[in-house]
């Protein structure tokens, strides 16, 4: 395991409810190619830290990468709902753009 993973685990011992640390650790597992821990990390974040809006985009992208298209689309939608509730227009826009791209709708398809 990388030093970064070990560092993040230590930080989490000090702050076990910090969603950013959990998110960072999950992304490190993703970088390391550990599908099981990556999925577990994302799933924990969306179930225990529902308002941590950054999770949804990266989780949905990851689901796309591993061939789980329907789950990915559902995660984008869930993220858009959270972003809307949190009044985070930037995150909503990113999630919507990614969702549309995953659906095969590109910006060029829209009439101006």
* pLDDT tens digit at each of 112 positions of the chain: 579 999 999 999 999 999 999 999 999 999 999 999 999 999 999 999 999 999 999 999 999 999 999 999 999 999 999 999 999 999 999 999 999 999 988 765 555 5
Q: Give the pTM.
A: 0.88
Query: Is residue 51 a contact partner of residue 86, using CB atoms and an 8 Å limit?
Result: yes
CA distance 82 to 104: 23
CA distance 99 to 103: 6
CA distance 11 to 30: 19
């Amino acid at each position: 395991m990388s030093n970064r993973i070990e560092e993040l685990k230590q930080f989490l011992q000090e702050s076990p409810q910090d969603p950013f640390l959990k998110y960072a650790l999950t992304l490190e597992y993703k970088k390391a190619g550990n599908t099981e821990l990556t999925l577990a990390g994302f799933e924990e974040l969306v179930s225990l830290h529902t308002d941590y809006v950054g999770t949804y985009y990266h989780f949905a992208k990851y689901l796309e990468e591993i061939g789980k298209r329907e789950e990915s689309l559902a995660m984008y939608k869930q993220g858009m709902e959270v972003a809307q509730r949190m009044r985070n227009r930037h995150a909503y826009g990113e999630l919507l753009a990614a969702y549309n791209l995953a659906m095969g709708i590109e910006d060029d398809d829209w009439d101006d």
